[in-house]
């Protein structure tokens, strides 16, 4: 997260009016009449339209086999996922401190990957601190964040946090000497021609994602349907059984906003989830697991009091701040809580929280602050989740940078 709370109130105010727009009766009737016609005109969607292609025409799509994950063969095989949250690459690149944090983050990623050897990695947002990047291409830092996983041949997926496409925030001390501040663009890896290399605008979500997808065979990320704009990282992946084509679990990724737009999951995203899950998993036989960066307001409702012990049924090791939730709740939690197949939601954003707590029939879990960028000095680590088939189970624990393990928990069995 890092200090964007000041904008919370402002965005809450902004989002109110849209709620109150009343459509004149005449238009409502017209809409009502046109709706069935519009439905009839929508062409059937070929399966290959799903996800990463970026054609974005349709919201309800099926899953292509070649973008599926699979359990490895062998009795008792498990599918293990490492969650890297809040890496915050690229902080204060003009100081000695910033690049040192990135080197430290590289070390955490390697330590966790070597210890756990996961089948898959999820980058749970705030991969980069774009508001610190006075360069035109944040993908240079994004790429560094995924390189530890890529170099080990492990596939991964990414979702956006509130810092990934944020605009550059001018440090006030750049203005401390007289006159116009010196242009201080980091020159590393940029064929520098001077001022035009500093764009100060942030790299848009869609550019970050397309660069990742186009350059990486192992990326399972996708740009969601265009009608969910301005949110981008909305997609679903399936993990197939080692023997059959049956999915053992479905992983849903949602963009919880922030940076270039408010910190919310829109009602359109909620409806998209509902439509997808009805088509892919109509009878709810396949367990579903959800990933997004900013905790929803429901996390605040189940949170242990800040700085207090984490008592059962919650499980975790740090509880040292208040939940900093999304700006509003536009329907996603209601839909998820009513679907018994949804087992857990994993969020990052709060660096000083790493607990899981039950909420109705599902679990709400924080990841663990993984990167050295971003606020807080709590020891770094990564939440791991492990899925087994036959029988299905979903377990989780936290692996620290120094190799220790804690907060083991069975989320579903
Ligand atoms: C998956 O299959 C589709 C259609 O067969 C193809 O267009 C696409 O390039 C494939 N994707 C990958 C990652 O292999
Ligand atoms: C940004 O950097 C990536 C390498 O990480 C490169 O593939 C991409 O083409 C660059 N984009 C622009 C607009 O320079
Ligand atoms: C720039 O390149 C150097 C050497 O190849 C590398 O060590 C460094 O991490 C790169 N910086 C970024 C921001 O990618
Ligand atoms: C590892 O780090 C944890 C803090 O996360 C600390 O409590 C523990 O003592 C450390 N263990 C070792 C073996 O260094």
Q: Is the pLDDT reported for residue 183 higher than 70? A: no
Q: Domain of 148: which CATH number?
A: 3.60.21.10
Q: Which residues contact 218 (CB under 8 A, 6 or more apart)?
A: 149, 150, 153, 154, 155, 156
**Does 1 map to a domain?**
no
d(CA 183, CA 309): 48
Paired sense of beta strands 120-124 and 156-159, if any = parallel
pLDDT at 273: 97
pLDDT at 105: 98
pLDDT at 66: 58
- Quote helix, strand, coil % in the chain, to nearest 5: 30, 20, 50
pLDDT at 176: 76
Q: Considering every ligand atom, which ligand is closest to the CA of 402?
A: 4
Polymer length in residues for the chain: 413
The tokens describing 278, both together, are 């009805």
Q: Give yes or no for residue 64 CB within 6 A of ligand 1.
A: yes
- H or E element at residue 328: none
The pLDDT tens digits for 214-240 are 999 999 999 999 999 999 999 999 999
Q: Is the pLDDT reported for residue 256 higher than 70? A: yes
The tokens describing 171, both together, are 């440090």
Per the listing, tokens 């984490």 go with 310
Pick from 132-146, 196-210, 292-306, 357-371: least confident: 196-210
Residue located nearest, by CA, to atom 7 of ligand 4: 404
Rounded to 5 degrees, what are φ and ψ at 332?
Answer: -65, -40
Ligand 2 centroid to 208 CA: how many Å? 9
Q: Give yes or no for residue 140 CB within 6 A of ligand 3.
A: yes
Ligand 2 centroid to 307 CA: how many Å? 43
CA angle 206, 209, 212 (to 5 degrees): 145
Q: Give yes or no for residue 142 CB within 6 A of ligand 3.
A: no
pLDDT mean across residues, the chain: 83
Per the listing, tokens 């010196």 go with 182
Q: Is the pLDDT reported for residue 20 higher than 60? A: no
DSSP per-residue codes, 212-223:
HHHH-TTB----
Which is more confidently placed, 148 or 186?
148
Ligand 2 centroid to 74 CA: how many Å? 40
Rounded to 5 degrees, what are φ and ψ at 395?
Answer: -115, 160
Contact by Cβ (8 Å): 135, 184: no
Best substitution site from 107, 108, 379, 407 to test ligand 4's pocket, by max atoms within 8 Å of Cβ? 379
Q: Give yes or no for residue 100 CB within 6 A of ligand 3.
A: no
The number of folded domains in the chain is 1
Q: Give yes or no for residue 404 CB within 6 A of ligand 4.
A: yes
d(CA 241, CA 249): 9
pLDDT at 179: 54
Which residues on adjacent β-strands are paired with residue 79?
387
User: What DSSP character marks residue 382?
Assistant: E
Q: Give yes or no for residue 103 CB within 6 A of ligand 3.
A: no
Best substitution site from 64, 157, 237 to test ligand 1's pocket, by max atoms within 8 Å of Cβ? 64
Q: Give yes or no for residue 336 CB within 6 A of ligand 3.
A: no
Which residues on adjacent β-strands are paired with residue 403?
none
The pLDDT tens digits for 45-104 are 333 333 333 333 333 345 655 578 999 877 678 999 999 999 999 999 888 899 999 999
**Does 125 map to a domain?**
yes
Residue located nearest, by CA, to atom 7 of ligand 2: 211
Domain that holds residue 121: 6-412
Q: Considering every ligand atom, which ligand is closest to the CA of 155?
A: 1
**Does 23 map to a domain?**
yes
Mean pLDDT of 265-282: 96
Asked whether the whole model's pTM tops 0.75, one would answer: yes
Which atom of ligand 1 is nearest to 217's Cα? Answer: 13
Pick from 15-29, 144-158, 330-344, 355-369: least confident: 15-29
Which among 265, 162, 160 has a CA at the least distance from the CA of 221? 160
Mutual angle of helices 139-151 and 205-215, in 10-degree steps: 40
Q: Give yes or no for residue 188 CB within 6 A of ligand 3.
A: yes
Q: Is the pLDDT reported for residue 27 higher than 60? A: no
């Amino acid at each position: 997260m890092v200090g964007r709370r000041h904008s919370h109130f402002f965005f809450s105010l902004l989002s109110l009016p849209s709620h109150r727009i009343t459509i004149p009766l005449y238009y409502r009737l017209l809409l009502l009449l046109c709706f069935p016609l519009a439905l009839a005109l929508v062409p059937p969607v070929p399966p290959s339209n799903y996800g990463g292609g970026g054609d974005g025409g349709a919201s309800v799509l099926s899953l292509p086999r070649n973008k599926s994950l699979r359990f490895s063969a062998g009795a008792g095989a498990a599918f293990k996922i490492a969650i890297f949250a809040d890496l915050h690459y690229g902080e204060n690149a003009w100081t000695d401190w910033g690049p040192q944090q990135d080197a430290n983050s590289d070390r955490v990623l390697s330590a966790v990957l070597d210890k756990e050897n996961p089948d898959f990695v999820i980058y749970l947002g705030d991969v980069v601190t774009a508001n610190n990047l006075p360069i035109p291409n944040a993908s240079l830092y994004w790429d560094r964040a995924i390189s530890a996983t890529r170099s080990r041949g492990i596939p991964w997926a990414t979702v956006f946090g509130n810092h990934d496409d944020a605009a550059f925030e001018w440090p006030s001390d750049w203005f401390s000497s007289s006159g116009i501040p010196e242009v201080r663009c980091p020159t590393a890896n940029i064929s520098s021609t001077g001022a035009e290399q500093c764009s100060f605008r942030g790299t848009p979500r869609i550019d970050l994602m397309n660069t990742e997808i186009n350059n990486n065979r192992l990326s399972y990320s996708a740009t969601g349907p265009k009608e969910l704009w301005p949110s981008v990282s909305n997609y679903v992946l399936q993990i197939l059984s080692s023997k059959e084509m049956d999915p053992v679990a479905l992983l849903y990724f949602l963009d919880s906003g922030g940076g270039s737009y408010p910190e919310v999951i829109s009602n359109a995203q909620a409806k998209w989830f509902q439509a997808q899950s009805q088509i892919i998993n109509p009878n709810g036989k396949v367990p579903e697991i959800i990933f997004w960066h900013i905790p929803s307001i429901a996390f605040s409702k189940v949170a242990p009091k800040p700085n207090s012990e984490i008592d059962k049924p919650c499980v975790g090791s740090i509880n040292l701040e208040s939940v900093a939730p999304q700006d509003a709740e536009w329907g996603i939690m209601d839909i998820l809580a009513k679907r018994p197949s949804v087992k857990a939601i994993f969020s990052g954003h709060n660096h000083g929280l790493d607990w899981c707590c039950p909420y109705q029939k599902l679990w709400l879990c924080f990841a663990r602050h993984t990167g050295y960028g971003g606020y807080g000095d709590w020891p770094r680590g990564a939440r791991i989740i492990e899925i087994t088939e036959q029988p299905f189970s979903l377990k989780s624990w936290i692996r620290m940078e120094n190799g220790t393990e804690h907060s083991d928990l069975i989320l579903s069995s």
